[in-house]
Amino acid sequence: GPRDVFAAVDLGATSGRVMLGRVGPGILDLTEAHRFPNTPVRLPDGLRWDVLGLYRGVLDGLRAAARAGGVASVGVDTWGVDYGLLDADGALLGAPFHYRDPRTDGAAEAVWARVGRAEMYRVTGLQYLPFNTVFQLAAAAGSAQLEAARTLLLMPDLMVHWLTGTVGAEETNASTTGLFDARAGSWSKDVLDRLGVDPGLLPPLRAPGDPAGELLPHVAEFTGLDARTPVTTVASHDTASAVVAVPATAQDFAYLSCGTWSLAGLELDAPVLTEASRAADFTNERGVDGTIRFLRNIMGLWLLEECRRSWAAQGRGPVADLPELLSLAARAEPFAALVDPDAPEFLAPGDMPARIRAHCRGTGQRAPETPGAVVRCVLESLALAHRRTLRQAAELAGRDITRIHLVGGGARNELLCRLTADATGLPVVAGPVEATALGNVLVQARAAGLVGDLPSTRRLVSATQPLRHYVPRKDPAGRAAWDAAAARIEPSPRNP
C-alpha cells in the first residue's frame, strides 16, 4: 500500500468506524472507509458487547480500505476499561461485558477492604467509576469464566490479537484498569498481589508507536490488504488518541473530549495523587510520550443520546432528529431546570427523560416536559459540569487555562459549544470532530517517521482541520446568570 496512508480503526460506544488518514508535510486528510453501529445485546446474565459483530465491522472496514488503495499500517482504539478473557487455548471466553452492566454494584467495597480507597488512589491515580476493570474483575471473582481465563485483553488489544495473533496490553488503556501504577507506568504488582489477581492474566505492556505485529494471512486474504501489512500500537484508549489530536498551538489549554462521555481536563507531565485530587475524583490516565491525562469523566452526551433513543422507541420520530431537537432547545427557556449529570441514576440504559424529570422533582425544581426543555436542561447542565470540572482541574494542578479545545462529536453541537464558552467564560475552539481517529492516524504516521513531536503534531492538526471559534459573552448580566445557575447545582459528593 501507499507509504503515507494509515487505517484508524476507532470503536466507540455507539458506533465503530474505519478511517483513512493521509499524512505529509502540511497534509492531514481524513476520509471514512466504513461506519457501522455498535449495538450492545442483553443476555440473561447481563449487558454484553457484540464483539464478533464489531470485529466483522473492522474487517469490512479494512476491506474498504484495500479497495480505496491500501494502507501503510493499521491501528486500533476503543473505549477504555472493558476486556475479553482468553482460555488456555487462546479462545475467547464469552462475549465481553458492557461497562454499563450493573453487576459491579458493591464490588468496589470488596476491593477497598483489601487495598484501602486512599491507598488505591495514591498508586493508580484513577477516578472512582463503578466499572473500572478492577471492580469488574472483583465482580467476576470465583466465576467459572475467570477460573478458566489465562489472558485478559482490553478491547483494542483483543481486536489487535484477532488481526495479528499477537498479545499485548497498550499502556494508555492499561492506565484505565485500576491495576496500573500511575507513577511507574507499569502494572502494579502490589495491587495485583493483594487483590489476588493472577499477574499472568495481564500481557506485557506496549507503548504507542510500538509495532504490534502483521495481519494474519487469512485477514490479509479476506480484506485484500497486502500480505504482512503492519499493525502499529496507537494510543488505544480513545480519549488518549483524542488528546493527541487537540489542535493546540500553546501550552495553557484545557481539553474537553465530548462524545458519549465528556472528558474534561489538562495534559500534565506528572500525576497529581493528592487527597484533594482523589476527593474531587480526578483521574491520572496515561497519554503518549509519558504525559498524564489529568481529567474527570462527566456523563456527557450519553444523556442526550439516551433521551433520543427513548423518544424514538416511543414513536416520537420527529424529535429524534438532532438538528430539530437542538433548535427547539435553543429556543427553550434558559436555566429552567438543572441536573447533576454525574448522578449515578443516569449511568444505566433506560428511560432517560423520565429519570431527568424525577431528578428535577427530587431537587425541588419544575420538571422539563417537552423534548426541547429536556435537551436544554441536559446541555446547560453539561456546560455547568464543564465549568465546574475545568476550574477544579486548574486549581488542583496549579495551572491557568486560557482556552478550551472541545474535540469529538460534541464539536458539531453548536449549542453545547456556545453554552460551554458562556458558562466557563473562556474561548472554545471546537474541532476536530474526528479527533480520536486523527490521533490514531498521527501516532502511526509518527512511527513511520512522517510527523515529529507532540507540539508539531498538534500544529499540523491546527493548520489542516476545520475549527470553529466560540467567544464567551462578556455582558455582566449574562455572566451573573451563569454564576447564579452554577450556585444552584450541588453535585453529589464525588469520592467520600
Residues with a catalytic annotation lie at 238
CB of 23 to ligand LRH, least distance (A): 24
- The residue number with the shortest CB distance to ligand LRH is 79
CB of 371 to ligand LRH, least distance (A): 25
Q: Which is nearer to ligand LRH, 188 or 236 (CB)?
A: 236
Cis before 432? omega within 30: yes
Q: Which is nearer to ligand LRH, 80 or 96 (CB)?
A: 80
Cell of 140: 467476576
CB of 173 to ligand LRH, least distance (A): 8
Task: Report how far residue 496's alpha carbon sits from residue 433's, in angstroms, rounded to the nearest whole number.
Answer: 35
- The C-alpha angle 196, 128, 436, rounded to 5 degrees, equals 105
By the criterion CB under 6 A, which residues form the site for ligand LRH?
Answer: 13, 79-81, 99, 237-239, 259-261, 263, 297
- Strands 5-11, 73-78: pairing is parallel
Task: Report how far residue 166's alpha carbon sits from residue 8's, in angstroms, rounded to the nearest whole number.
Answer: 18
Q: Which is nearer to ligand LRH, 136 or 310 (CB)?
A: 136
Cell of 55: 470485529
CB of 289 to ligand LRH, least distance (A): 19
Q: Which is nearer to ligand LRH, 245 or 373 (CB)?
A: 245
Cis before 334? omega within 30: no
Q: Which is nearer to ligand LRH, 163 or 263 (CB)?
A: 263
Find, among 106, 104, 124, the residue nearest to 115 by Cα: 124
Task: Report how far residue 21's alpha carbon sits from residue 87's, in angstroms, rounded to the nearest whole number.
Answer: 36
CB of 80 to ligand LRH, least distance (A): 4
CB of 56 to ligand LRH, least distance (A): 21
Find, among 323, 322, 301, the residue nearest to 409 by Cα: 301
Per-residue DSSP letters for 406-474?
Answer: EESGGGG-HHHHHHHHHHHTS-EEE--TTHHHHHHHHHHHHHTTSS-SHHHHHHHHHHHS--EEEPPP-
Q: Within 10 Å of residue 328's Cβ, how many Cβ atoms? A: 17
Sign of CA dihedral 14, 57, 35, 213: positive
Q: Which is nearer to ligand LRH, 238 or 422 (CB)?
A: 238
DSSP 38: -
CB of 145 to ligand LRH, least distance (A): 21
Q: Which is nearer to ligand LRH, 79 or 162 (CB)?
A: 79
Query: φ and ψ at 189, to 5 degrees?
Result: -60, -40
3-state secondary structure 171-189: HHHHCCCCCEECCCCEECH
CB of 12 to ligand LRH, least distance (A): 6
Tell me the residue length of the chain.
496
Task: Report how far residue 39's alpha carbon sits from residue 335's, in angstroms, rounded to the nearest whole number.
Answer: 34
Q: Which is nearer to ligand LRH, 130 or 213 (CB)?
A: 130
With beta carbons less than 8 A apart as the criterion, state whether 19 and 33 touch: yes
